[in-house]
Structure 1
Amino acid sequence: MRSLLGTTALLATMLAGAMGVRAETLPEALAYAYANNPNIASARLSVESSGEDIAIAKSDALPNISLGANYTASFSATDDLFSTSQNFTLGLNYSQTIFDNHRTDGQVEQSRAFSELATHALANAEQNVLLSAVDAYMSVVRDTQLVAIRQENIAFFRAQVGSANDRLRLGEGTRTDVSQAEARLAQAVAAHQAAIASLQTSQASYQRWVGRPPQNLSASFTYQGLLPQSIDEAIETAQADHPALKSARAAIRASQAGADIARSAFGPTLQLIGSVCAVGCFGADGPGGMSGQIGLTLSIPIYEGGSLGAGQRKANLELIKSEVDALSSYDEVREAIVTAWATVINSEAQISSAQSAVASGQEFVSGLVEERDLGLRTTLDVLDAQSDLVTSREALVQANASRVIAQYTLLASVGRLSATNLGLPVTVEDGQAYVQVVEDVWQELRAVPAP
C-alpha cells in the first residue's frame, strides 16, 4: 500500500506539472542544452586556445624588442685607499630570426591545422551533446508513458482480483482463479516500480545533458526534414560534412606540417641581433652619448646525436598514421550510417506491428472479459490476454521512442545534427571570432577582449 501511495503521488505530481507548466518541446530542450552544456563550452574554449597557439607560432618570425636596465656598484680597497663607483645603463635590445629554413612557416601551418581540428572537435561535441539530449528527452517521454501503462495495468488486475473473489463467494469461481489474479497483480506492481526507477534514471540523464530537470515534456514535435533519402546519399553527405572526417583531414594536414618542421631542422638559421645604449654608455665618469651595435648570427647544424634524423623519421610515421586513422574514421562513420539507417527502418516496422497488436489486443481482452463472465472463458485466459496487450502497448511506446532516437542518430552519422541545421533559437558560437582577433601580430600593444 505504501508503494502504491508513492506511485499515486508521483503520477499526481506529473499531472500537476502537465496542468500548470507549458509543455517543453524537443527543439526547446536542445536549444537549452546547446546554450548551457559544459561539454560544448569546453570544446569552444579549446578552439579559442588554439588561436593563441597560432599567435605564438607567428611570433618566432617577428621582432623581439626589450628594454634593458643595469645598475652596478663596486668598491676597491688598498693599504691606503678605499674607493667606490656606481654605473647605470639603459638601452634597447633587438633580435629577429631572418631565416630558419621555413621552420616558422611550418609551425604556423601546423597551428592552423590544429585550430581547424579543434573547430571540428567542437562540432563533434555539439553533435554528441544534442544526440545525448535527444536520447534523454525521449527516454523520459517513453518511461513516463510506461509508468502510466503499468499503473493502468495494476488497476486492471486489481479489478480482476475483486471479480475473482466475487465469483468465488457466489460459487461460480475457484480459489485458483483468485490466486492467479493476485499473482498477476503482484507482478504488475513490481513492473510498475521498475518503470518508476527507470523514469528516475532517465530524468537524471536529462538534467545532465539538457541542464535542467524535465518538466511536462511533449511526446509530439515538428521534425525537421533533414534525413537523407538513401544510404548512398547519407555516405556522400558524411564525406563532406561529418566533423569526424573533417578532423581526420585536419590531422593529416597537421602531420604534413610536422614533417616539414622536422625537415627544416637540418637547415641553417640566420638571426639579426642589435642593441642601443641610451644612458650610461661610457661609464659614470665618461662622456654622455649613445652607442649601439648590430650583427648577424648564422647557425648550421652538423651533428646533434641523431636527434634530427629521429625527429624526421617520427614525423613521417605520424603522417602515415594520420592517413591510416582517416581510413578508420571513414569506416566508423559508414558503419554508423548503415546501423542508424537499419534502425530507422526496423523501428518503423515495429511501430506498424505494435499498432496492429494493440488494436486487436484491446478488442480481444474486452471480448474475453465478457466471455469469462458468461462462463465461456477462464480467468487465466483474461489474465494472459491482458499481459499480451500490455506487452504490445509497451512495445509501441518503445518503438516510437527508438524511431526518433534513430532518426537523430542518422542525422548525427551524416554530420547534420547541429544547432544551425536544426534551426534552434540560439546564438551559434564557434570561437572563430576570438581566433581572428588574437592572430593580430600587434595584439600585445593593445587590449585583447576576454573570451
Structure 2
Amino acid sequence: MGFRVKLVASALALALAAVSVGGARAQSISQALTIAYDHAPDLQAALLSAKAAAENVALAQAGMRPQIGASLGGTYSWSAGQASLGNPSGAFSDSQTYTAGLSYNQTIFDNYKTDAQVEAARAGAEAAEYQIRNTEQNVLLAVVQAYMSVLSDRQLVALRQENISFFQAQLQSARDRLDVGEGTRIDVAQAEARLAQGDATYRAAVSSLEISQATFQRYVGAAPQNLDASHNYARLIPSSLQAALSQAETGHPAILMSKAAIRAAQAGTDSAQAAFGPSASVSGSIGTAYSNPGGAQGISGKLGFTITIPLYAGGAIGASVRKANIEQIKSEVDAMSSYDQIREAVISAWAGIQSADAQISAANAAVSAGRTVLDGVIQERDLGTRTTLDVLNAQAELTTAREGLINASTNKVIATFSLLSAMGHLTATDLGLAVEVKSAVRYNQVVEDVWQELRTVAE
C-alpha cells in the first residue's frame, strides 16, 4: 500500500501549493490589459503615425493660405586704384546699402484642388485614428492569448508533475509486489516506461511555459504573477450571432478605416482632375532702402497677379488621374475584403465559444468518470483482477480528460475576447480599463489652428 501513501502525500503537497498561490494577490486579466495598454510599443507607434497623418491636413490647407515673409539685407561695396565715373581720381571709396521689406503671395483659386487635398488629408487622419483603435484591439487580444497561454501551461505543468508522482508511486508499488511475488517484471517495465514518458511530457510542458512567460513579458512589460482568468467581460457579448455581426459591421475600426480610405481616394481623384483647370494667384511686396552715402530712398512696393491654364504636361496630368481612379477602385475592393474578414472573424469566434462550451461539458464529464474508473481499477488491481497496465491506462485517460478540460477552458476565454475583438469592442473604453485612452483627435484640432504657426514665431 506504499504507493497510496505517496499519492496522498503528493496530492496534499499540491493542495498546499494551491492554497499558497491562491493566498497571494492574483494578477487579473484586467490588470494585465491595463499594464499592457500603457506599455505596448505598437500602440504608441500607431499614435505617432496618427499625429503625423494629422500634419498632412495643415500641409494641404497651406495651399490656399497666404505666404507672408519679411526680409532684411545689407551690402557693402568699395573701390580703389582705378578711376571711374563716380570716382575720377581713383581714390579709395566705399558705400553701404540696407534694405527691408515684406512680401505676400497667395493662391486665390486652383480649381478646388486644395479643397480636395484637404479632404483627402482629413480622411487620412481619420483612418489613422481608426488604425489606433484597430491596433489597440490587436494588442489587447494578443495580451489575452499570452495570459491564457501562461495560465494553461502552468496548469499543464502542475498536472504532469502530478502524473510523475503517480507513476513513481506505481513503479514503487510494482517493485514491491514483485519482491513479494505478487507482480511481474513486465509490470515494473511498464511502470518505468510510463514514468519516463511522463517525465518527457513534463519537461516539454516546462519548456512551453518558459516560452509563454517570455511572450507575456514582451506584451505586458512585466513577468506574469499569480494569474486569475476570471472576468466579467462576457456581459459585452450580445445574445445572438446576428446582433454580433450587426455591431461589427457598423463599429469595427477596420471597417471604419476602410470607409475613410475610400473617402481619401475619392478626394485624391478630385484633386487629380482639378489639375486640368485654371489657377490664379496674387503677390505683392513693400520695402525701403537706405544707402550711405545717399541716405534713405523712401518706400516702394508692387502688386501683381498670375492666371495659369495648363495645356500640356507631357502626359503627367492624365496619368495622375488614371492612377487616382485605380487607387479609388482599390480602396473599395480593400473595404469589401475587410468587411468579409470581419464577418468571418465574428462567425468563427461565435462558433469557438459554442464549441468550447460543449468541450467543457464533455471534459467535465470525462474527468468525473475518469476519476471513478481509476479508483475502481486500482481497487481491482489490488484484488488481483486487474494489472498495473490497466491502472496506467486509466491514469492516462484521466490525464487526457483533464488536459482537455484545461484546453477547453482556455479556448473559451480566448474565443470570448476574440469575439469582442471581431465586433470592435476590445478597446480600453469598452473594457473600462483605468488608462488614458490614446487618441490623436486633440492633436488634429491643434494642427488645424490657422494662426498657430504665426503665434509660435512671435513667441
TM range (shorter): over 0.9
How far apart are residue 52 of structure 1 and its match?
1.6
* Kept after mapping to 1: 8 A contact 2:100/2:288: yes
* Kept after mapping to 2: 8 A contact 1:351/1:396: yes
The corresponding residue for 1:178 is 188
Structure-to-structure mapping, 1:77-226, within 5 angstroms: 78-79=82-83, 81=90, 83-226=93-236
Moved more, 79-88 or 122-131: 79-88
The corresponding residue for 2:86 is none
How far apart are residue 436 of structure 1 and its match?
0.9
The corresponding residue for 1:66 is 69
C-alpha separation in 2, matches of 1:382 and 1:174: 15
The corresponding residue for 2:3 is none
Q: 1:384 aligns with which of 366, 372, 393?
A: 393
Q: Matched residue of 1:24: which SS?
A: strand
Change over 3 Å in CA distance of 1:18–1:270 after alignment to 2? same
Task: In structure 2, give the amino acid aligned to 1:314.
Answer: K
The corresponding residue for 1:332 is 341
The corresponding residue for 2:318 is 309
How far apart are residue 428 of structure 1 and its match?
1.5
Identity of aligned residues (%): 52
Change over 3 Å in CA distance of 1:284–1:55 after alignment to 2? farther
- Structure 1, unmatched stretches of 5+, are 1-10
Task: Tell me the TM-score normalized by structure 1.
Answer: 0.93
C-alpha separation in 2, matches of 1:35 and 1:167: 60
Deviations, residues 111-130 of structure 1 (Å, cap 9, x unaligned): 10000010010000000000
Change over 3 Å in CA distance of 1:91–1:20 after alignment to 2? farther
Task: In structure 2, give the amino acid aligned to 1:362.
Answer: R
- Residue 408 of structure 2 is aligned to residue 399 of structure 1: yes
Q: How large is the RMSD of aligned CA atoms in angstroms? A: 2.0
- Structure 2, unmatched stretches of 5+, are 1-13, 84-88
The corresponding residue for 1:7 is none
Q: Matched residue of 1:409: which SS?
A: helix
Task: Tell me the TM-score normalized by structure 2.
Answer: 0.91
C-alpha separation in 1, matches of 2:292 and 2:308: 33
C-alpha separation in 1, matches of 2:297 and 2:165: 105
How far apart are residue 269 of structure 1 and its match?
1.5
The corresponding residue for 1:42 is 45
C-alpha separation in 2, matches of 1:69 and 1:337: 65
How far apart are residue 75 of structure 1 and its match?
4.1
The corresponding residue for 1:30 is 33
C-alpha separation in 1, matches of 2:222 and 2:418: 23
* Kept after mapping to 2: 8 A contact 1:113/1:250: yes
C-alpha separation in 2, matches of 1:63 and 1:283: 35
Change over 3 Å in CA distance of 1:363–1:222 after alignment to 2? same
Q: 2:273 aligns with which of 263, 267, 272?
A: 263
Structure-to-structure mapping, 1:361-376, within 5 angstroms: 361-376=370-385
The corresponding residue for 2:448 is 439
* Kept after mapping to 2: 8 A contact 1:59/1:441: no
Number of residue pairs matched by the alignment: 437
C-alpha separation in 1, matches of 2:421 and 2:456: 39
- Residue 308 of structure 2 is aligned to residue 299 of structure 1: yes
Task: In structure 1, give the amino acid aligned to 2:47.
Answer: R
Change over 3 Å in CA distance of 1:383–1:284 after alignment to 2? farther
Moved more, 148-157 or 66-75: 66-75
Q: Matched residue of 1:290: which SS?
A: strand
The corresponding residue for 1:4 is none
Q: Matched residue of 2:305: which SS?
A: strand
Change over 3 Å in CA distance of 1:17–1:29 after alignment to 2? farther
C-alpha separation in 1, matches of 2:442 and 2:391: 67
